[in-house]
Copies of this chain bind each other. A is one copy, B any other.
């Protein structure tokens, strides 16, 4: 029987890639008086549910999804956390 998982995926720009949005936000924070802020980088945070036979299969599926659609492997890194959804909570 398939198990329901909840995934939290973090997609970030590779450190070598310029982040204009991050620079703009950092400049905005400085203008608001938060002068100590530096190194602002903006990425994506994606939540989703999926079902799979087991944790390993779910991780393999998520890896594929990230490589094929959710992240651009040329300029972005990704990582994810996977939690099993308790059976009682499956019927949302």
Contacts and interface: CB of A to CB of B under 8 A. Distances in A.
A26 B36 CA distance: 39
A69 B26 CA distance: 10
Interface in A3-35: 10-12, 22, 25-26, 28-29, 32, 34
Contacts of A68: 32
Number of copies: 2
Interface string A32-59: 1010111111111111111110000000
B10 A70 contact: no
A2 interface: yes
A61 interface: yes
Among A32, A34, A61, residue most surrounded by chain B Cβ atoms (within 10 Å): A34
